[in-house]
Amino acid sequence: MLSRNQIKYIRSLELKKFRNEHGTFIAEGNKLVNDMLIAFESELIIAKPSWMATQGDIPTKELLVADEEDIRKASLLKNPQDVIGVFKQPVYDIEEANPSGQLVLVSDGIQDPGNLGTIIRLADWFGIEHIVCSRDTTDVFNPKTVQATMGALAHVKVHYADPEAWLQGYKGQPFPIYGAFLDGGNIYSEALSATGAIIMGNEGNGIRPAIEALVTTKLLIPSYPANRETSESLNVAIATAIVCAEFRRRLS
């Protein structure tokens, strides 16, 4: 049986201040926890005996058997699964996010945890290994973001930095900077590179002016047909999927 303090600790990780205080984050669910165990150092695993029976050695500092009631009390999900894991937050070197040699996604103030989680999942799918996030982007270790990545967080490194400074100063090496705008050139006819930075903006305000000034190629995802009245814009995660798919299509 879990103690009250253990349950309190696990549930506290819903809040960023406690995640930062402990340097940990929470993941829930059979597949997600298994994916996290491969990529991150595990502090604590609580699980039903049925889940443990399907595992070999479980690499964690602390392993606790829990019944359904324990899981329900500790879980942040509406429908808890068989296992909850607490993992150490990784520390990455942003120097690895080299836009002169690869495609790097940039989040300029994305606020919705589900959107960021989906974008991480998309980056994984399209072979983009790094995402640079402005400091006002939602926390990648928000439990909703972690769940939305569906395990892709194990394969994509997310960095927080000042994107304006990062875009201007990566070792003085020139690289193309793309951004999605309503006044951009048609993405299906613009020249696209296999390297560079792709900036995706805030859900309501788009890309901020200071960063827009650094963009070398503005891209438009055209509606169809061109003269048809449509909704004002696409969801940022959907727009990211379209943009990434077109960049990768050019390489096929």
203, two tokens: 């859900």
Pairwise CA distance, residues 20 & 31, whole Å: 25
> Side-chain half-sphere of 164: how many Cα atoms within 13 Å?
10
The three-state secondary structure class of 90 is coil
Domain 94-251, CATH homologous superfamily name and number: SPOUT methyltransferase, trefoil knot domain (3.40.1280.10)
Tokens (6 digits) for 112: 């919705």
Rounded-to-integer distance, Cα 106 and Cα 71, Å: 36
What is the pLDDT, as a whole number, of residue 171?
A: 58
Rg (C-alpha) for the chain, rounded Å, is 20
pLDDT at 170: 64
Note the pTM of the prediction, 2 decimals.
0.94
Same fold, 4-88 and 94-251: no
Q: What is the dihedral of CA 73, 77, 81, 85, to 10 degrees?
A: -80
The whole-number pLDDT of residue 210 equals: 95
Give kind and range of the element (H or E) at residue 238: helix 236-251
Whether the Cβ atoms of residue 64 and residue 45 lie closer than 8 Å to each other: yes
For helices 113-125 and 236-251, what crossing angle results, to 10°?
Answer: 10
In this structure, whether the domain defined by 4-88 belongs to CATH 3.90.180.10 is answered with: no
Sheet holding 177-186, edge to edge: 157-160, 130-133, 103-108, 196-201, 177-186, 217-220
Q: What is the pLDDT of residue 174?
A: 84
- Is the CB of residue 244 less than 8 Å from the CB of residue 123? yes
What order of strands is seen across the sheet that includes strand 83-88? 24-28, 83-88, 42-47, 63-65
Cα–Cα distance for residue pair 36/155, rounded to 1 Å: 10
- Each domain of the chain, given as residue ranges in start order, spans 4-88, 94-251
Instruction: Please give the chain's pLDDT, 252 residues, in tens.
Output: 788 999 999 999 999 999 999 999 999 999 999 999 999 999 999 999 999 999 989 999 999 999 999 999 999 999 999 999 999 999 999 999 999 999 999 999 999 999 999 999 999 999 999 999 999 999 999 999 999 999 999 999 999 999 999 998 765 678 999 999 989 999 999 999 999 999 999 999 999 999 999 999 999 999 887 777 766 778 999 999 999 999 999 987
Spell 151-184 as b/e; 16+ CB within 10 A means b: bbbbbbbbbbeebeebbeebeeeebbbbbbbeeb
The pLDDT value given to residue 225: 73
Backbone angle region of 185, left / alpha / beta, with phi > 0 → left and psi within -120 to 50 → alpha: beta
Task: Please state, in angstroms and rounded to a whole number, the distance separating the CA atoms of residues 201 and 87.
Answer: 29
